[in-house]
Amino acid sequence: MNKKPFCHSSKEVLALIDQAKPVLAYRNIHKNCISVKQGSLVVCHAQNVVLENATFVVGEKGRDRVRTERSKNVHAFIKGTVVNPVQSLTQLDYRWPEITYNPYTCDFFKCVDNDRYVDRAEWVDLWVDMHGSSIVAHNIMYKKEK
């Protein structure tokens, strides 16, 4: 079996990817970490990843299959550019709202503070450890209401 490297921070992830290209980051519930995919390959697993210019993506067919079959599959991820976490420190004066996604209760990623669906964010910080996981974002742009 091909074991992927484990990174504790974005800084370590940067050494394993093509920094000029975006990645897809998603919570890997089987390994309790964040999987980082670039192109068609999972490059590594990580505890913390900071993304810039991120887009929140939910595959509707995959989401619908989760709801119908009650079995999990990778259908939701955050696409963005991995950055050194130091770059986001200039934004720490602000409280970053938490973002959540549950395919059984909502259609897309949403902001916990206002229950609005999230489309993009300037900065996203994903974290997974033995105590749980979180997604927080800064400068959020919301999906347009229909």
Give domain limits for the chain.
6-142
For the whole model, what pTM was predicted?
0.92
Q: What is the pLDDT along the chain (146 residues), one digit of tens a residue?
A: 568 999 999 999 999 999 999 999 999 989 999 999 999 999 999 999 999 999 999 999 999 999 999 988 999 999 999 998 876 666 656 688 999 999 999 999 999 999 999 999 999 999 998 888 999 999 999 998 76
pLDDT at 44: 98
What span, in angstroms and rounded, lies between the C-alpha atoms of 36 and 10? Answer: 10
Residues 108/58, Cβ–Cβ less than 8 Å: yes
Residues 142/117, Cβ–Cβ less than 8 Å: yes
What span, in angstroms and rounded, lies between the C-alpha atoms of 84 and 114? Answer: 29
| pLDDT per residue as tens digits for the range 12-21 | 999 999 999 9
Displacement of CA 128 from its chain's centroid (Å): 10
What span, in angstroms and rounded, lies between the C-alpha atoms of 64 and 58? Answer: 10
What span, in angstroms and rounded, lies between the C-alpha atoms of 85 and 98? Answer: 17
Which residue is associated with the tokens 């259908």? 75
